[in-house]
Structure 1
Amino acid sequence: MRAIASTPEVDDLLSAGAPVAIGVSGGKDSQAAALATFRYLDAIEHAGPRLLIHADLGTVEWKNSHPVCEDLANYLGAGLIVVRRKAGGLMERWESRWESSRERYETLSTVTLVPCWSTPAMRFCTSELKTHVITAELKRRFPGQTVINVTGVRREESAARAKAEAADASADGRFWNWRPLVDWSVADVFAEIDSSGLDPHPAYRVFGMSRVSCRFCIMSNLADLTAAAAQPEAQDLYCRMVRLEARSTFAFQGSRWLGDVAPGLLDDAERNAVAAAKASAQLRVAAEKRITKPMLYVKGWPLRMLTDDEADILAGVRREVSDLLGLRPAFLDRSSIHARYAELLAAKPAEKEAA
């Protein structure tokens, strides 16, 4: 079997009996990471607690993901902890993000509408629904201890992950993030799973997908999105996501509309709504391009009052965008925009004092 990567720091913690928590999603990499890590821990006679932990993302998850994690836990004789975001799953997060974006735009608490979807550069789907809830649970279970958090990250997966280290410490020192498979190939991963006698997630060999995460993932290629849409269990979610595309005028993957992946699953009204959303998106983007760079939202916004010309530009854009999306905004002329900016600027000292 392929050797795993480790570091002196991780090995010292293991020798001292540090708790080991392996994040499992139901995907191949976390499944192989759990198998290989347990074998390594047995070989070095690790005496500390071990567990598997799964972050349930709600309706976006494949129905087989949890059973794959359960089968893995039973095979290893380990406990499986399931954690969830209290405010709901990922689909609910996308929907609430759109409502928040809409409300903030209507009240001129931001300059442009923001996408409801997570993106490769803004993966709140990982940070909020996985990392935060998992670390909170581990801190609760192991107070005062340094926990080794195992993931199936591999350098081969992407340019960003090509720079991954075998292990590193979290900023607060409470966790060591260990990536034992960092140098493994896809073939190594499937060989590890197959040698155990367990089955990988059916999405790989039955559905024909190259990766398993959410049913429809922001990182998926077109072939994986198409394969996912072909599965009956994913089709209600597909329509719900397409309706959010149409409502928000933001495509699921930047320039790729999920509504184009399997239009046969949509009814006439839904297909018409997608077509209208695409047209509105082009007009929205064109309108927002009239907003100059110094006017755009930045941290600490607003930094200054707008000029009369800038206020007129913003008012015109807000009227156009609101008409396109059926929004009900305030602050649609020069004087009301100046008044709103003055209000926001005046509130800053009070906010700093409260902080």
Structure 2
Amino acid sequence: MNLFPKTVEDRDCEVPQAVRDLVQQGAVFYVNSSAGKDSQAMLHFVLRHVPREQVVIIHAVLPEVEWDGVLEHLEATAMGLPILTCRSRRTLLQMIEQRGMFPSPSQRQCTSDLKRGPIERTIRQAGRKLIVNCMGMRAEESSSRAKLEAFKFNERNSKNGRQWYDWLPIHAWEVEEVFGLIKAVGQEPHWAYSKGMSRLSCCFCIMSSKADLTTAAKLNPVLYRRYVELERQTGQVMLMPSKKHGRLTLEQVTGVLAA
């Protein structure tokens, strides 16, 4: 944590000049939102620099595995901005059943197939020619996210006269800044945070901490049982084995027995 935490005005000064230029050029800013804390704070920060008419919220629906009230929370905090929703042709649980294994940190089909793919496809189908795709990843979350470029030209999606840029508006932010901005604009984060969750996204994520998995197991017993059954069915475990504890099932990790 910084000795002297930065204010949102300090963060305003860190917005790249290229982003300011794209605003003036009329680019459409698509704000990826899971309805989690980072997405919520990112939206408000983007709106400090981009006119409302140039901002669109986009959400990848995750049937069965999302937290209750995600869409309702997203709509309640969108302040009337347009919301696009999209989804993959198959669900995460179907993917696990068909592949006979869970996603892993090195092969995160859950992200590429269920989130990034549908979102990028939906943006392309909108037909805009100047695009800024805004995502809420923060460096504080992991070493891999710390290595991400906060702003870059996306060559893969820049085709057929389309210019596409990726921007991580809150990449350098600390978690206290995230919650602070949400409070400052008079909103509350999704209810799951008040129950002890540190992240939202899927109820049970391969990147989740033991504490988050335990909390999620207690709050979502029916879905938790589905994951435990999938471990037994596939013969695999959801979490990667660790050097300290080796291979553990969800029940061993959380201490919660599936009813």
After TM superposition, the score normalised by the length of structure 1 is 0.64
Question: Which residue does 2:201 correspond to in 1?
Answer: 213
Aligned to 1:298: none
Residue matched to 2:136 = 152
Matched with 1:264 is 257
- What amino acid is the match of 2:188? D
Choose which of 69, 73, 82 in structure 2 pairs with 1:68.
73
SS across alignment from 1:138: helix
Q: Residues of 2 paired with 1:65 and 1:256: CA distance?
A: 30
Quick check: which one's helix share is greater? 1
Question: Equivalent residue of 1:230, what SS?
Answer: helix
Q: Secondary structure at the match of 1:59?
A: coil
- Contact 1:6/1:167 (8 A) holds in 2: no
Within a 5 Å distance, the mapping from 1:174-323 to structure 2 comes to 174-205=163-194, 207-231=195-219, 234-254=220-240, 255-260=247-252, 261-266=254-259
**Residue 126 of structure 2 is aligned to residue 141 of structure 1:** yes
C-alpha distance 263-182 of structure 1, shift in aligned 2 (>3 A)? closer
Question: What is the correspondence of 1:5-154 to structure 2 with a 5 Å cutoff?
Answer: 5-42=14-51, 49-73=54-78, 75=79, 77-86=80-89, 88-98=90-100, 116-143=101-128, 145-154=129-138
- Structure 1 residue 263, shift from structure 2 partner: 4.1
In the aligned structure 2, how far is the partner of 1:162 from the partner of 1:49? 28
* Aligned-pair CA distance for 1:170: 1.4
Match of 1:184, as an amino acid?
A: W
Alignment of structure 1 residues 155-174 onto 2, 5 Å: 155-172=139-156, 173=158, 174=163
Larger Rg: 1
CA distance in 1, matches of 2:50, 2:61: 26
Q: What is the DSSP-based 3-state SS (H/G/I as helix, E as strand, rest coil) of the residue aligned with 2:230?
A: helix
The aligned residue for residue 243 of structure 2 is none
| Paired-residue identity, % | 34
Paired with 1:81 and 1:235, the residues of 2 have a C-alpha distance of 30
- Moved beyond 3 Å, runs of 4+: none
Once residues 40 and 164 of structure 2 are traced to their aligned partners in structure 1, the CA distance between those partners, rounded to angstroms, is: 21
RMSD: 1.6
Q: Distance in 2 between matches of 1:218 and 1:171?
A: 29
8 Å Cα contact 1:229/1:262 also seen in 2: no
Letter aligned with residue 206 of structure 2 = I
Q: Distance in 2 between matches of 1:175 and 1:224?
A: 35
Q: Counterpart of 2:257 in structure 1: which amino acid?
A: G
Task: Report the alpha carbon displacement of residue 39 of structure 1 after superposing the two structures with TM.
Answer: 1.7
Query: What amino acid maps onto 2:93 in structure 1?
Result: M
Structure 2 CA distance for aligned equivalents of residues 117 and 84 of structure 1 = 19
Q: Which amino acid aligns with 2:123?
A: L
User: Shift of residue 137 of structure 1?
Assistant: 0.6
- The DSSP-based 3-state class of the residue aligned with 2:178 is helix
Secondary structure of the equivalent of 2:200?
Answer: coil
TM-score (norm 2): 0.87
Q: How much does 1:262 deviate?
A: 4.6
Matched residues, number:
238
**d(CA) in 1 for partners of 2:236 and 2:257?**
20
Structure 2, unpaired ranges of 5+? 1-6, 241-246
1:121-160 per-residue CA deviation (whole Å, 9 max, x = no partner) reads 11111111111101111111124x1310111111111111
Q: Return 5+ residue gaps in structure 1 as ranges.
A: 99-115, 267-355
* Superimposed CA distance per residue, residues 32-64 of structure 1 (whole angstroms, 9 cap, x where no aligned partner): 00011012214xxx7x63210000111010012
Determine the C-alpha separation between the residues in 2 that align with 1:15 and 1:259. Answer: 53
